[in-house]
Structure 1
Amino acid sequence: MNGVPRAPLLLGLAGLIPFVWGALTTLSDPLATWGAANLGGRFIGPYIQLFYGAVILSFMSGVLWGFATKATGAQAATGYALSVIPALWAFFMTGGGPVGAGMNLMFGFAGLLVLDFAFWRWGLAPEWWLQLRVLLTAIVLICLSTGVFF
């Protein structure tokens, strides 16, 4: 992580808190009970992960859109078209219960990493972008897997 600027690294890691909290409350009944009593049932287990995951996929569409503004011509058009995929994925694929929605979010974040790679490879994202996105995506996928597989 030496090449990633401190602010994006710290903010990216802070953005993992709802995913990590959801995983912890999935794996720990006492923590889930405390969370439900003090924060509400929507803010524990897979429920916080699913809601927040859809928000983050939509946010990342905006980030990719911003990268597309650096391109011109056909590459810009391709970038804009690709940038809306994560938000549309979140919108259409997160229904149908926590296991199916969690699995679809996992596919969505894995697909987002492919898009991150494309924008990075095209030189539209910062040099350090992919290093940060691989770390964050790995943690998100591990956390989401608790709601899907446990």
Structure 2
Amino acid sequence: MGWMSWTQFRCEVNCAKYPNDCINEKLYQTMADRLVSDGYLDAGYNRIHVDDCWMAKSRDTNGRLLADPDRFPSGIKALADYVIDAATFAEWDCDYLKFDGCHMKKEEQHVGYPLMAHALNGTGRPIMFSCEWPLYLEHEQDQVLPTLLFIYVTNI
């Protein structure tokens, strides 16, 4: 169990206007600290899920994802090290990836999701893959949905 930013903060990236509600490294560090100080870690809440809107608008010269340099000036690896005290996601020491379908063309999904699963498996690091593909499928009577991890977000 853990904390995910999406339910409360969605894709708020205007840190000048909303400094306490903006997707940035300070928000995740604060929430990680609160999991510990408020007793949630002892109750089994041991995950921080970085959801959407963390990435820069462009990739590096090798085509790899980058964190937004203004909102995550220390980078995702430093944030992961802060939270857990210690190919891209594996190098960041992440153990969970929610692969959403935002802005992905429907006709690309049947290729993109399996490719990401294969790429994650190829890293040699165990990474839980939360695949959102079924949420974007049109449910037809004859369609067989793949067996995947479904995560239901609720207020507890």
TM-score of the aligned structures, taking structure 1 as reference length: 0.29
Normalized per residue, which structure has more strand? 2
Normalized per residue, which structure has more helix? 1
